[in-house]
């Protein structure tokens, strides 16, 4: 849905009048689920723009305060939860603005793979405290996506290398250890860097408990071969089956994104094409 400046101004003014005099500017970020507006120097307004993201603002408020104290990077602190109105159908949020830039792997520090591993080790060490299995990435059975992934691979040209990677993933033994926390959307668009160093992780609306392979997919979505080797060395307890499922999650995200959107969302297409290139490059032909 279209979300313009006047709508956001009305929402802020009517629901949080203490901020009504702050400058409001749209943030051009290339994401698919939310519109983001900077509010003054220290705040951001985040509004779902597709139905599938309708509950993510509330999820942020549930999980970010639980996770942030344990992680070695900054998370966008949720401050206020906006209400549905006649003009806007979803709950929305005001969060603390985080400084930082979205980057490519070739423009960041040489220890980025290790830094990402540190973040995930910390995240996986937080108690899930009775959280149910996620139904999103990292869910109990990756093969639920089988028909959709095979159709997407066929639509993209039917590369047998991609099919083989997917079949390795769905035939690998499943996760049978305690559930771990997942970000579940850990691609370049959600990683913030300051002076080339990973400083923040944003967009926690899909966070849940499940198979850690759902986050290890960042090894292909963002890293290159060198960074991926560093990443895996720094992680503990990642067996070959988990690594195979992680490849599957990276492939699933990438082929579905390209099959659905093509190059119409350039930032998403770039992430997906990078991941597929990395996956195919490391698989013997």
Per residue in 56-85, pLDDT tens?
A: 999 999 999 999 999 999 999 999 999 999
What pLDDT score does 237 carry? 81
Residue 52 pLDDT exceeds 70: yes
Kindly state whether residues 22 and 119 are assigned to the same domain: no
Kindly state whether residues 129 and 259 are assigned to the same domain: yes
How would residue 29 be classed by pLDDT, with cut points 50, 70 and 90? Answer: confident
Write out the two tokens for 182: 């997942």
What string of DSSP letters covers 34-86? EEEEEETTTEEEEEE-SGGGTTHHHHHHHHHHHHGGG-SSB---EEEEEPP-S
State the Cα–Cα distance between residues 241 and 258, nearest whole angstrom. Answer: 26
Residue 284 pLDDT exceeds 60: no
At which of 45, 68, 98 does a domain end? 98
Domain that includes residue 16, residue range: 5-98
Angle in degrees, CA 107, 110, 112, rounded to 5: 85
This prediction has a pTM of 0.94
Give 182's strand partners: 208
Phi, psi for 204 (deg, rounded to 5): -100, 20
Tell me how far CA of residue 112 lies from CA of 99, 194, 205, 229, in angstroms: 18, 12, 24, 11
Write out the two tokens for 185: 């959307």
Kindly state whether residues 194 and 114 are assigned to the same domain: yes
Kindly state whether residues 189 and 64 are assigned to the same domain: no
């Amino acid at each position: 849905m279209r979300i313009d400046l006047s709508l956001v101004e009305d929402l802020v003014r009517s629901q949080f009048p203490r901020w009504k005099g702050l400058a409001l500017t749209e943030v051009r970020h290339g994401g698919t689920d939310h519109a983001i507006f900077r509010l003054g120097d220290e705040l951001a307004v985040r509004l779902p723009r597709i139905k599938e993201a309708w509950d993510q603002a509330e999820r942020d408020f549930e999980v970010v305060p639980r996770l942030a104290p344990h992680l070695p990077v900054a998370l966008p602190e949720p401050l206020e939860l906006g209400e549905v109105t006649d003009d806007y159908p979803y709950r929305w949020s005001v969060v603390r603005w985080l400084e930082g830039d979205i980057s490519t792997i070739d423009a960041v520090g040489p220890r980025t793979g290790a830094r990402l591993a540190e973040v995930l080790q910390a995240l996986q060490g937080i108690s899930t405290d009775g959280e149910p299995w996620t139904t999103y990435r990292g869910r109990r059975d990756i093969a639920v996506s089988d028909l959709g992934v095979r159709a997407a691979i066929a639509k993209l040209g039917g590369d047998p290398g991609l099919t083989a990677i997917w079949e390795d993933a769905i035939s690998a033994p499943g996760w049978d250890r305690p559930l771990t926390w997942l970000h579940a959307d850990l691609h370049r668009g959600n990683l913030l860097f300051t002076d080339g160093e990973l400083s923040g992780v944003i967009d926690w609306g899909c966070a849940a408990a499940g198979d850690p392979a759902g986050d290890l997919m960042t090894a292909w979505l963002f890293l290159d071969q060198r960074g991926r080797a560093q990443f895996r060395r720094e992680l503990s307890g990642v067996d070959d089956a988990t690594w195979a499922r992680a490849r599957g999650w990276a492939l699933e995200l990438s082929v579905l994104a390209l099959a659905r959107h093509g190059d119409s969302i350039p930032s998403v297409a770039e992430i997906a094409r990078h991941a597929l290139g990395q996956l195919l490059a490391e698989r013997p032909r």
